[in-house]
Each structure stands twice: as structure tokens, then as C-alpha cells.
Amino acid sequence: MADHPTRPTIKTLSEMTGFSIATISKALNDSPVVTQATKAAIRQAAGQIGYAASLRGMSLRTGRTYQVAVLMPVASASGFEWDGVDYAQILSGIAAGLEGSPYRMSVHVVRDAAEGLATARQVVEGHLADGLIFSGIQAQDPRVEYLCAVGFPFVTLGRCRGDLTYAHVDVDSDWAAWAATARLIAGGHRRIALINPDPRLSYALDRIDGFTRAFAQVGLPVPQDLILGGDLSTRFGKEAAMSLSRLPDPATGFVCVNESTALGALAGLRDLGFDIGRAASVIAYDDINASAYFAPPLTTFYLPIEDLGRQLGGFLLRRLAGEDPATLQQLTRPDLVARQSDRLERVSPWEGNT
């Protein structure tokens, strides 16, 4: 393809300056064995012709690829359903975190954890990247175990359970579920549903922990029958809300895992003729900021998803620079955004219904 005739190489610089390619290389890498005068001359020449090292050449020689691989999960999608996850924001954040470094981002689509492990293997064994970033961490995650075992640098969005030490960024789901549940309990709700993701996911367990703790704290029994796990689709949220509202002793409050399921829950309750806001309260993680426009607007926990991505990128760079993974761990507590009343207005034990 039409390049500028041929782009300059280290050899071009060698001919320009009269120094050997070895010296050029060392100068550009700021090696201490080269004199300042030589470095200056070489850099000047490099700047003049706009030299940029060929990643291919560097890559072959050093074994590094200057690539960071991201495993992007997509719902297995038999008939696409919105899952409310704006992965583009995460990617954007990661890219921002990588900015200024020579690392670029390659994205590998994975449909489930098994495929994720296979892809991680490919990346490691095929030297397709120098580091890995992924999410959707399971309580016991084969990818984390594998990568720890082979010593390949990676950062995860989420933590698995177990005592492995690795770099990660996570949201305090335990706390968020606790806070949401406690809020609804304080509002008079007793039959509170936990609309949860796939129970194999680590943060699904965190949420159950927080949910449970909120009840235990005030000495109330945990409504085990109202904990439902599924995917993140709107459809699941709707089905879950409908089935839990049809129980003899129905749920009045819903702690949803994200906005997509919350939207589904709203739709389900509406379909059953409930007056949301009076009959039920819905609380969600807020990662795309759409719940403000729902009817009614939802109380959410705001998740700065792009910032998390930025952290992931930054952590990976530091990990690649050799930093100890134990120092690269961060837990973010999301901010509560109160929008809709969380009071139970229908059957509150301590206040009349208004």
C-alpha cells in the first residue's frame, strides 16, 4: 500500500548520522553508554525525519507485543436482549488508562467463562499480548487460576473468592446490596427481592452477603425465596418481578442488579397493574445513567464505569512494569443517587398509606 515511499528505519538514521544502527538503538533507548552529544545528534535526526520505531521489529526481537488484550463478554444472545452493560465505556476507560504508553488494546469477544479460558490460553501461549484484562469474574474463576499459575500479568474487574493475589479493581457489591436493602427495610419493606446475576459470578455472592446482612442487622428473617439469579437482560428482570409479585406473600421491594433488569422489573410490575412507587420500590446499580428517565425515576447506585476502566488500564501498566499485584487492588463504593421514594406506602406497619 502507498506508504510514504518507505518509512524510515534505524538504518536510515544510521546513514544520516554516520553512527551504526547499534548506537542509534541505544541512543533512542537512552542507554547510559552513549554520550549526551551523540544522543542529541541522533534524536535531532530522528525528530527531523519523523522516525518511529517499527513495532514489528521491536516485537520480534524483544518478545513483547505492546498489546493489551481485553476479553469482552457478550451475552450468548439467542435473540438479542439488552443487558444494560455499556462495555464501550469500559473499553474507552481502559484506552484512556493506557494512553501515553506504547500499548494498544486488542479486544477478544468471549461468550462464556469456558471460552474465556480458552482465549486466555491462546493469548498466553501464542504471545498475542503482554497483559490481559477481563471481567465477569466467577467465585472460583479458572482464568484467574490459570493466569496466576503461569505468571502472566493481568488485571480483573471483579474479585474471585480464594486467596490468590492478583491485581484487580472492583465495586463493593456487598456494601451496595446492604445499603439498598437496608434502605428498603427502613422504608417499611419486609418482602424484598434480590434480582441477581448468574449465581456463579463472584459479585452475585457479594450481593447475597450484603442482602443477608441487612436483614440480620435488624433481626429480621432473610426472604430466601425472593433471591433470584439470572442473566442481566431486561426480559429476566421482567419475568423475575412478575413471578415474585404473584406469590401469596408478594415482594414489595426490588434490589436489581442493574438498570436493564430494573427496567424489566418496572415493566413487569406495570403489566400486573401495580402502581410503582406505591406498591413497590426498585433500586438498581446505575452504570449507564438511564434510570433517571424511567417511570418512575429509580434510586440507584452510581457506578463510574469509565473510571473503573481507566483504573484497569493504569493498573495493568504498573503490573507490566513489575509492580507487586498486592499493591494493585482497589475497591470502589458506588454513590447513592436517591430519586424515587423507597417508602412502602401500601402496607407500612408504622405509617398510614399516604
x-or-dash string of contact with its own copies, 49-88, rule CB under 8 A = ---x-xxxx-xx----x-x--x-x-x--x--xxx--xxxx
Among 61, 80, 163, 326, binds DNA (CB under 7 A): 61
C-alpha cell of 261? 433488569
Least distance to its own copies from the beta carbon of 83, Å?
9
Among 2, 33, 37, 218, binds its own copies (CB under 8 A): 2
The answer to whether 196 touches 212, Cβ cutoff 8 Å, is no
Least distance to its own copies from the beta carbon of 296, Å?
10
The interface partner of residue 19, options being its own copies, DNA, none and the CB cut-off 5 to 8 Å by kind, is DNA
- Residue showing cell 424515587: 340
Q: Helix (H, G, I), strand (E, B), or coil: what is residue 46? A: helix
The interface partner of residue 77, options being DNA, its own copies, none and the CB cut-off 5 to 8 Å by kind, is its own copies
Q: Helix (H, G, I), strand (E, B), or coil: what is residue 194? A: strand
Q: Which of residues 97-136 bind its own copies (CB under 8 A)?
A: 104-109, 124-128
Radius of gyration of the chain (CA): 26
C-alpha cell of 126? 501464542
Q: How many CB atoms lie within 10 A of CB 336?
A: 16
Strand partners, 300: 284, 337
What distance in Å separates the CA atoms of residue 31 and residue 267, rounded to the nearest whole number? 64
Among 260, 281, 300, 340, binds its own copies (CB under 8 A): 260
* Selected range binding DNA among 49-57, 153-161, 178-186, 311-319, rule: CB under 7 A: 49-57
The answer to whether 119 touches 108, Cβ cutoff 8 Å, is yes
CA distances to 124, 135, 267, 316 from 129, rounded to whole Å, are: 7, 17, 43, 12
The interface partner of residue 34, options being DNA, its own copies, none and the CB cut-off 5 to 8 Å by kind, is DNA
Backbone angles phi, psi at 72, to 5 degrees: -100, 115
The interface partner of residue 321, options being DNA, its own copies, none and the CB cut-off 5 to 8 Å by kind, is none
Decide whether 50 or 79 has the Cβ nearer to DNA: 50
255's enclosing H/E stretch is strand 253-256
Of 217, 215, 303, 218, nearest in space to 227 by CA: 215
Decide whether 215 or 285 has the Cβ nearer to its own copies: 285
Among 13, 95, 120, 308, binds its own copies (CB under 8 A): 95
Among 9, 38, 115, 152, binds its own copies (CB under 8 A): 152
x-or-dash string of contact with DNA, 4-43, rule CB under 7 A = --xx-xxx------xxxxxxxxx-xx---xxx-xx-----
The interface partner of residue 139, options being its own copies, DNA, none and the CB cut-off 5 to 8 Å by kind, is none
Runs of H (alpha helix) within the chain: 10-17, 21-28, 36-49, 55-62, 87-98, 113-125, 142-150, 173-186, 202-217, 234-245, 259-271, 305-320
Q: What is the distance of C-alpha 3 from the center of its chain?
A: 38
The interface partner of residue 279, options being its own copies, DNA, none and the CB cut-off 5 to 8 Å by kind, is none
Strand partners, 331: 170
What distance in Å separates the CA atoms of residue 64 and residue 129, rounded to the nearest whole number? 8
x-or-dash string of contact with its own copies, 281-310, rule CB under 8 A = -------xxx-xxxx---------xx----
Which residues lie near its own copies (CB under 8 A)?
Answer: 1-4, 7, 52, 54-57, 59-60, 65, 67, 70, 72, 74, 77, 80-82, 85-89, 91-92, 95-96, 104-109, 124-128, 150-153, 234, 238, 260, 263-264, 266-267, 270, 288-290, 292-295, 305-306
Which residues lie near DNA (CB under 7 A)?
Answer: 6-7, 9-11, 18-26, 28-29, 33-35, 37-38, 51, 53-54, 56-58, 60-62
